[in-house]
Structure formats: C-alpha cells, structure tokens
C-alpha cells in the first residue's frame, strides 16, 4: 500500500482579518460574550466611512454570537442634535443592522461625574484655573516637557469644592477645567494632565440644562465602554495614541476592563469624508442637502440608488487594514453593478434623442415585441415593447462620418434595434443650421425574430423607444462631486471647495418606455446601455425622476485585472 504520494485534499481555510484574530484570541482566553458598539457623535449624517465601521462592529458581533450596541457619543452639546440621532438610526437600519441596546453617553453623565470625584479623592484629578492658552503653552512640545500648573497642588477638599461649584454653575465657560493629574513631562502629550471636564453653558439635546460641565472624549469614551461591558472597542487608527489614556482611566477607576483596537479609516479618492466638510457643503449650498445623491453620506448613496447589499459588499472587499490607504471610488461602483446586475430589470430609455422614421413601415401600425426583463433572472419574466413607424434612438448611436469599426447606425449602414427589427439608414435630414433633424430608415420585415431575410450578420445593437408611445422622465446624471483625486488637499491659497467639480450634475428629459413611467418609487432599473437608475419619485410636474446610480462602464475591474 503506497499512499504516500496522495495529496491531502485542500481544505480552504478562511483567512481571518486582524480584528477577527484578536477576537478569536480573546475567546480562546475565556471571553464568553463578545460585545461591540458603534459610537457615532450625533453631529452630522453618517457617511460611507461610518458604514465601514458599522459593518465591522455589527458584523463581528454577529459572527461571534455577540452583541453590538448603538451608543451616541453625545458629550458636546454645541454641535449635537436629535435630527442627527434619528437619521443615524434610520441609516443603520437601512443597512440591515439592529443594535442590541441603544445608549447615550449623556445617560452616563451622573456616573462619570461620580467617577471624577473618585479620581479627585485619589489625588488623580484637579481643578485648573488657567486659561485655555496658558494650558496649551504649559503642555510643552513633543521635544520639551510641559510645566506644572500653579493650581496643580490644590488639596482634595478644595478640588472637590471647586468641582462641585463648577457643576453647580458658579463659573463661566472657560473659567475652570478639571484635569487628570498624571505627568507633565510624559512623552505621550495626551498624558500631560489631560482635560476631563470643561464648562459649557449650553443646553444639551437630551439632558437640557441639567449640566453645565461636560466630559471630554477621552474621559467619557472608555468609561462608557466599560459601563456597557464592551469587550472590543473598535475604532479608527488616529485613536491609537489615546489608547494608553483609555486604559489609564479604566485602571485607576478599577472598572470593567474594556479594550480598544484600531483599524485604518476608510478613505476614498475623489471624496471628502469629514462631517465638518460635508456640513460645509450643505450649509453653503454646494449640494442640495445631506441626502444629495452626490454626497458620500448613506442617505445620499441611498437616494443615488445604492443598495445596502452593495455597500456591505464594498465594506467586505475593502477589508480591515492596519494602515491608512485610499480606496478607488470605482470599487464601490463595481459592487453596485455586481448587486444590481442580478436584481435590476432592464428597460429602454433614450437620453439624447434623434428621431428615426421607418419609411417602409405603415403609419398607425403598432407591433409588440417580447423583451426579456432580466437576462440574469428568468423569474423576472418578459414584457412587451411597442414598435412604431417613428422611434427615437440615442444621438451618439448614429454617425454621419464614422471611423472604422463603428458598428452603430451610419448612412447606408444597418443596425439591430434591440428586441426588434434591423434598420438601414437611407437618408439624413438636416435642419437649416446643419444639425440632424431626423433619419429616414427602412426596415427588413423578415428580421423581427433576431434573424434577417438572407442570413446576413449585423454587429451593432442599439436601444430605442417608440416616438409615439414613449413617455418622459426627468433624469439626473451625476459626475464626481470633486474634480481631483485628493480633494482634501486644498490648492495653494484656497480651500477644499476649490476642488469641486462644477459639472457634477446634469438634468435632462429622457424618452422612456411606458413601463418606466409607472414603476414604484424606489425601483432600481437598468436603462440598457446607459446605466443603473433609481426611481426617486415624481418631480413638480408629475413626471418620474430617475437618478443615475452608475454607468455600465467598469473602470475598476479593468484597472485591477
């Protein structure tokens, strides 16, 4: 028996990303229940970068039988609003995720306050009267140590009294802060007595005027995680320098040991992704709102026609990296095509019409041709399209003086009308200014079922609609919102706004198959040869509006072959 050379069957091992490795390691070390959280600050709408974080946090919890909370990180009353809270919940649900528990960092203000007093009592926090500027200067630089605040050695009693007075509203904004007492010469600048609380006399969207002191991110985040027994606090790379401080507070307070892990934030070319900049685009009217279909926000992508599945596929393909990188916008479009190719029914619509008159076709006659709704999905069935003597074709499907290898319509040339006859162009009728008025063509009556009268082959197939039976729709065609690959890099003396693409939106009237007129709002459909479109409802004149989600041209796959 010689089976030495028999190869082992190849078992395809699932490749884990580094977060999965960390989680599996913790499970091996005895962590029973994986608990993650998605912690948005309700100061803007979610964007595709957040979608990446959502897919990761909810995805990990799901994969390992754990739970994911939604926690609003609402510690800054100045910028936050319930409008944002509602939109964030809607967007997460739309992506297909549901949180186990909904929390607000502001629900922990009482607990955080008590913990601050505990740190004061341990001699680990003090009230500082220095101005913001004095604190900044006192912190030193990366190469020089900081200097101690003259208030650093206040007694526990005095600190407690002052901190309570801060809470009770005795002081104006900026008059005092509470700082952790760590080390003004620490190599990590964040350890040089970081701020824990500042005074802000502003109503909070949830706690109203109950508080006039608000905790800083570093003081609130880890403790909020700890309260919820978060086992894996996953955040973006820029927080790695905060991790030691995250651990420090948890350690000194002797509370549940949550741990933070960082992954690279998602960046996409031709896109800005900071909420501050997106807000600026909205406020200054460069876009029509947070849900403008050119925005990288989740609500913008939804209105554009992106599907939750395509966004999740994108997050999956991007993967979880440890180092920052920039992802090609084409990958997002590729994911959309992958998804919609299977789901979207095909229809015909003409965006830049030229009228064609089939001179040998009887006036007033209408024939119905079967058209397959989706070649990728037999269950989508067939519909019928009406053929008449006058039709519209796309103006760039005709060339009077075409180059070689142009297989569409040309004088004396023949082309197949999708689902219908072969037509030949006999005459080009012009307007006085020389532009094309209409084309006179003749059809081959034997060619209706995909053949031709004498077996001749015709290469070009073009789409069309009946000029007498078609309806009209408004279509919105989008180009990238920014004209340059790295729009965050402002040109000299300018701002990122100078990188906007002035031609990112074109609106026009299209001639559409009648079946497109009455499609339910929210339908994704492919206009054959033109792109994927999303029906977003009716315009002010009662005509349907179709947003082009993406063209059919694949720029990404070609580049990445």
For position 266 contacting ligand ATP by CB under 6 A, the verdict is: yes
Q: Which range touches ligand ATP (CB under 6 A), out of 37-45, 246-254, 302-310, 361-369?
A: 37-45
Sorted by sequence, the CB contacts under 8 Å of residue 176 that are 6+ apart come out as 127, 128, 129, 162, 166, 199
For ligand ATP, the closer CB: 12 or 489: 489
Please state, in angstroms and rounded to a whole number, the distance separating the CA atoms of residues 439 and 418: 18
Give the residue at shortest CB distance from ligand ATP.
49
d(CA 140, CA 143): 8
Rounded Cα gap, residues 31 and 230, in angstroms: 11
For residue 385, with 0-12 CB atoms within 10 Å meaning exposed, 13-18 middle and 19 or more buried, which class applies? buried
49 binds, among ligand ATP, Mg ion, none (CB under 5 to 8 A by kind): ligand ATP
Catalytic residue among 275, 347, 424, 476: 275
Q: Shortest approach of ligand ATP to residue 385 CB, angstroms?
A: 44
Is 260 a binder of ligand ATP (CB under 6 A)?
Answer: no
Closest CB to ligand ATP among residues 50, 312: 50
235 binds, among ligand ATP, Mg ion, none (CB under 5 to 8 A by kind): ligand ATP
In the complex, what is the shortest distance from the CB of residue 275 to Mg ion, in angstroms, rounded to a whole number? Answer: 8
Task: Single out the residue of 23, 50, 313, 442 in contact with ligand ATP (rule: CB under 6 A).
Answer: 50
Of the ranges 38-46, 154-162, 383-391, 451-459, which one interacts with ligand ATP (CB under 6 A)? 38-46
Interacting positions 72-131 with ligand ATP (CB under 6 A): 73
Binds ligand ATP (CB under 6 A): choice among 274, 325, 359, 370: 274
Site for Mg ion, residues 6 to 65, rule: CB under 5 A: 41
Least Cβ distance, residue 72 to Mg ion (angstroms): 11
SS3 content of the chain, % helix, strand, coil (to 5): 30, 25, 45
Could you say whether residue 441 binds ligand ATP (CB under 6 A)?
Answer: no
Of 242-250, 271-279, 323-331, 368-376: span binding ligand ATP (CB under 6 A): 271-279
* Closer residue to ligand ATP, CB minimum distance, 49 or 300: 49
Which residue pairs, CB below 8 angstroms and at least 24 apart, start in 395-402?
395/352, 395/353, 395/354, 395/436, 396/352, 397/460, 397/462, 397/463, 398/354, 398/425, 398/436, 398/439, 400/428, 400/436
Cβ atoms within 10 Å, residue 266 = 24
Handedness of CA 389, 449, 513, 353 (dihedral sign): negative
**Near ligand ATP by CB under 6 A: residue from 35, 53, 297, 310:** 53
CA distances from 392 to 319, 355, 395 (A): 45, 5, 9
Beta carbon nearer to Mg ion, 249 or 443: 249
Annotated catalytic residue 275: yes
Count of residues that interact with ligand ATP, criterion CB under 6 A: 15
Q: Given the residues 265, 346, 383, 476, select the one marked as catalytic.
A: 265
SS3 363: coil
> Angle at which helices 18-28 and 48-63 pack, to 10 degrees?
30
Distance CA 522, CA 36 (A): 32
H or E, element range at 227: helix 217-227
Q: Does 422 bind ligand ATP (CB under 6 A)?
A: no
CA nearest neighbour of 128 among 228, 197, 35: 197
The helix/strand/coil state of 532 is strand
- Nearest Cα neighbor of 180 from 150, 221, 152 is 152
Q: Counting contacts by CB under 6 A, is residue 242 touching ligand ATP?
A: no
- CB 40, min distance to Mg ion, A: 8
544 is in the binding site of which of Mg ion, ligand ATP, none (Cβ under 5 to 8 A by kind)?
none
Q: What residue 275 binds from ligand ATP, Mg ion, none (CB within 5 to 8 A, per partner kind)? A: ligand ATP
Report the chain's terminal Cα–Cα distance, integer Å. 46
Instruction: Please count the residues of this chain forming the interface with Mg ion, following the rule CB under 5 A.
Output: 1
- Only segment of 48-56, 161-169, 362-370, 448-456 that touches ligand ATP (CB under 6 A): 48-56
* Dihedral Cα 266, 272, 274, 275, nearest 10 deg: -120
Q: Does 39 bind ligand ATP (CB under 6 A)?
A: yes
SS (H, E, C) 246-257: HHHHHHHHCCCC
**273 lies in the binding site for ligand ATP (CB under 6 A):** yes
Q: Does 236 bind ligand ATP (CB under 6 A)?
A: yes
Our finding on whether 233 is near ligand ATP (CB under 6 A) is: no
Residues that bind Mg ion (CB under 5 A): 41
**Catalytic annotation, residues:** 41, 265, 275
Residues that bind ligand ATP (CB under 6 A): 39-41, 49-50, 52-53, 73, 235-236, 265-266, 273-275
């Amino acid at each position: 028996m010689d089976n030495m050379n028999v190869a082992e069957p190849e078992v395809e091992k699932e490749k884990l990303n580094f977060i999965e490795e960390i989680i599996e390691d913790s499970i091996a070390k005895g962590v029973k229940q994986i608990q993650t959280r998605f912690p948005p600050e309700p100061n803007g709408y979610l964007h595709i970068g957040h979608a990446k974080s959502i897919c990761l946090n909810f995805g990990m919890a799901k994969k390992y039988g754990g739970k994911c909370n939604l926690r609003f990180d609402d510690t800054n009353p100045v910028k936050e609003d319930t409008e944002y809270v509602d939109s964030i919940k809607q967007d997460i649900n739309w992506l297909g995720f549901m949180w186990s528990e909904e929390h607000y960092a502001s629900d922990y203000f009482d607990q955080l306050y008590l913990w601050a007093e505990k740190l004061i009592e341990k001699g680990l926090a003090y009230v500082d009267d220095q101005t913001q500027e004095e604190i900044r200067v006192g912190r030193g630089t990366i190469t020089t140590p900081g200097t101690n605040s003259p208030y650093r050695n206040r007694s526990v009693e005095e600190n407690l009294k002052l901190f309570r007075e801060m809470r009770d509203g005795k002081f104006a904004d900026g008059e005092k802060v509470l700082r952790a007492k760590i080390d003004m010469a620490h190599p990590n600048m964040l350890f040089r007595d970081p701020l824990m609380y500042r005074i802000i006399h502003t109503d909070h969207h949830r706690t109203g005027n109950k508080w006039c002191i608000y905790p800083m991110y570093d003081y609130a985040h880890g403790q909020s995680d700890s309260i919820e027994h978060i086992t894996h606090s996953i955040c973006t790379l820029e927080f790695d320098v905060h991790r030691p401080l995250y651990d420090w507070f948890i350690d000194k307070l002797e509370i549940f040991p949550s741990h933070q892990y960082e992954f690279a934030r998602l960046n996409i070319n031709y896109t800005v992704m900071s909420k501050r900049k997106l807000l600026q685009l909205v406020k200054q009217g460069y876009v029509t709102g947070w849900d403008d279909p050119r925005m990288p926000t989740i609500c913008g992508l939804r209105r554009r026609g992106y599907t939750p599945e395509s966004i999740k596929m994108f997050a999956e393909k991007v993967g979880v990296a440890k180092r920052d990188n920039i992802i090609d916008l084409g990958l997002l479009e590729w994911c959309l095509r992958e998804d919609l190719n299977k789901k979207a029914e095909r229809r015909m619509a003409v965006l830049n019409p030229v009228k064609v008159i089939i001179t040998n076709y009887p006036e007033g006659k209408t024939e119905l041709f079967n058209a397959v709704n989706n070649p990728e999905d037999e269950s989508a069935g067939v519909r019928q399209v009406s053929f008449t003597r006058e039709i519209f074709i796309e103006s760039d499907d005709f060339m009077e003086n075409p180059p070689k290898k142009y297989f569409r319509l040309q004088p004396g040339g023949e082309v197949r009308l999708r689902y219908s006859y072969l037509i030949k162009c006999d005459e080009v009728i012009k307007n006085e200014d020389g532009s094309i008025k209409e084309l006179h063509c003749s059809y081959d009556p034997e060619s209706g079922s995909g053949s031709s009268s004498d077996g001749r082959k015709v290469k070009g197939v073009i789409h069309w609609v009946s000029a007498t039976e078609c309806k009209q729709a408004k279509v919105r065609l989008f180009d990238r919102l920014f004209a340059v690959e790295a729009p965050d890099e402002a040109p000299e003396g300018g701002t990122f706004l100078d990188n906007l693409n002035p031609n990112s939106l074109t609106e026009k009237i299209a001639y559409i198959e009648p079946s497109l007129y009455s499609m339910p709002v929210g339908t994704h459909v492919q206009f054959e040869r033109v792109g994927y479109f999303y029906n977003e409802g009716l315009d002010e004149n009662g005509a349907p509006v179709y947003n082009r989600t993406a063209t059919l041209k694949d720029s990404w796959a070609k580049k990445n072959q």
